Amino acid sequence: MKDSRISSTRIKYVLPALAALAGFSALLSLCLGAAALAPGEVLAALLGRGDGAARQIVLYARLPRTCGCLLAGAALAAAGTVIQGVLGNPLAAPNVIGVNAGAGLLTAVCAALWPARTAALPFAAFLGALGGVGLVLAIGARTGASKMTLVLAGVAVSGMFGAGVDAVLTFFPDALNGYSDFRVGGVANLSMSRVAPAFWVALAAFLLALSLSGEMDVLLLGEETARSLGLPARRLRLVLLALAAAMAGAAVSFAGLLGFVGLIAPHMVRRLAGEDSSARLLLAAALGGAALLTLCDVLARTLFAPYELPVGVVLSLLGGPFFLWLLLRQRRGRRGGHA
């Protein structure tokens, strides 16, 4: 009860604080870069006024990139929150259990076979993400479905799908321009026309997940409890995983195989917002993920200026140690349980 009271008090401040952080990160993203701009110049450019060069930089370079960061971060973090909750596995994330890799494979296939149909990429990525998570779950069901089995199956499936992407690009080398950025994850050279279709897919999936947050709360109590309350637990789990796949796939379709956002952000906000409300946690994760990815992208383009790192490199440098820390914590928890 104490944790619930704390989270209920904190939530009055956590969501506005995370929204403010996301807004501040977006402002930094619009202001900082090879040519630094003052907030006033950015505002004037957004309103269609001010210096012509500044307007070109803001509207055609930084605004699509910033919107892409906010969208991809929010979508991946919300997807990770759903996946961790539904599978009851704190190590699960879109990049860990094959969701990102499946989305990347069908994105590459779609870009190779239908290069002019960029609006179809989010839908292809969704199908690939759904196939990836479905394959991992099938392997887990056949082998006992332990938490570690799902993680290992996800690593194996991600490796196979990654090889599939390499094979596609061997035959269609121009299918994905800037493939290294796609493989690591990057948001450079985005346009609003690439971000817009993914936005609608991710928004629809997020709103549907929010509408099912009450059912998700019941599902988190355990499958037997959910069934005793008349909830179709298995069907609901599949629907929620499909929505998570849609959100992650939409992000992958334009931002590439970004890793660790869906792992780090849910854990960070869970400590702040509590776990007694799935709706609250989803909102907090989306805001936290948007801020995290945008701030990482600002670091990626300013730390070694005039050179620029793909944002996926910065995320991997943060996420790798974080994942190892989670593994070690899980191991200590199991030892403590046996003691």
Question: What is the per-residue burial (b if ≥16 Cβ within 10 Å, else e) of 220-247?
Answer: eeeeeebeeeebebeebbbbbbbbbbbb
Task: At 21, list the tokens.
Answer: 């952080």
The pLDDT, as a whole number, for residue 339 is: 44
Residue entry with tokens 């704390």:
6
Closest CA to 41 of 30, 189, 306: 30
Q: Which of 41-45, 82-86, 93-97, 131-135 has the lowest mean pLDDT?
A: 93-97
Preceding amide of 306 cis, omega within 30:
yes
**Domain parsing of the chain, residue ranges:** 2-338
Q: What is the pLDDT of residue 180?
A: 63
> 247, 126, 254: which is closest to 190 by C-alpha?
254
Per residue in 7-63, pLDDT tens? 456 667 888 999 999 999 999 999 988 788 888 888 988 888 877 888 888 888 899
Q: Which long-range contacts (CB under 8 A, 24 or more apart) does 52-60 make?
A: 57/33, 58/30, 60/191
| Higher-confidence position of 27 and 154 | 27
Residues 184-208, mean pLDDT to the nearest whole number: 89
DSSP string, 270-319: HHHH-SS-HHHHHHHHHHHHHHHHHHHHHHHHHTTTTS---HHHHHHHHH
Residue 14: the pLDDT is 87
Please give the average per-residue pLDDT across 194-206, as a whole number: 92
Q: Which residue has the tokens 């870069």?
A: 33
For the entire predicted model, the pTM comes to 0.84
Query: 136-140, 141-145, 219-223 — which is least confidently predicted?
Result: 141-145
- What CATH number has the domain spanning 2-338? 1.10.3470.10
pLDDT in tens, 22-36: 999 999 999 988 788
pLDDT of 3: 47
